[in-house]
């Protein structure tokens, strides 16, 4: 576990950069996490992030298909929003643990 400063706040992250305490998440922290991987967040990104956080809070298993069929985005658009690892990066930015379906 490492300490990192995001949006002026000291947070604990694991070895892969995921927040250890999802209650520390803010939109500003999300913005800093996204910028670190080269993503500029839009309103559409935040819609997806809120959906992911809600599903995680309800202990639902997250998959690319579930997010892509959410009515918020399509699978194709999810890949465009979070290139190189849509579920991995969206989860990291959303402040939730890495889904088990991600490598």
- Which residues are known to be catalytic? 102
| Letter string b/e over residues 10-26, b meaning 16 or more CB atoms within 10 A of that residue's CB | ebebeeeebbeeeebbe
* Spatial distance between the Cα atoms of 29 and 24, rounded to a whole number of angstroms: 8
């Amino acid at each position: 576990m490492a300490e990192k400063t995001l949006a002026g706040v000291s947070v604990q992250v694991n070895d892969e950069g995921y927040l250890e305490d999802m209650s520390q998440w803010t939109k500003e922290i999300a913005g800093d996490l996204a910028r670190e991987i080269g993503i500029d967040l839009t309103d559409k990104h935040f819609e997806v992030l809120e959906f992911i956080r809600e599903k995680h809070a309800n202990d639902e298993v997250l998959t690319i298909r579930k997010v892509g069929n959410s009515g918020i985005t399509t699978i194709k658009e999810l890949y465009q929003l979070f290139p190189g690892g849509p579920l991995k990066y969206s989860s990291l930015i959303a402040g939730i643990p890495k889904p088990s379906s991600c490598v």
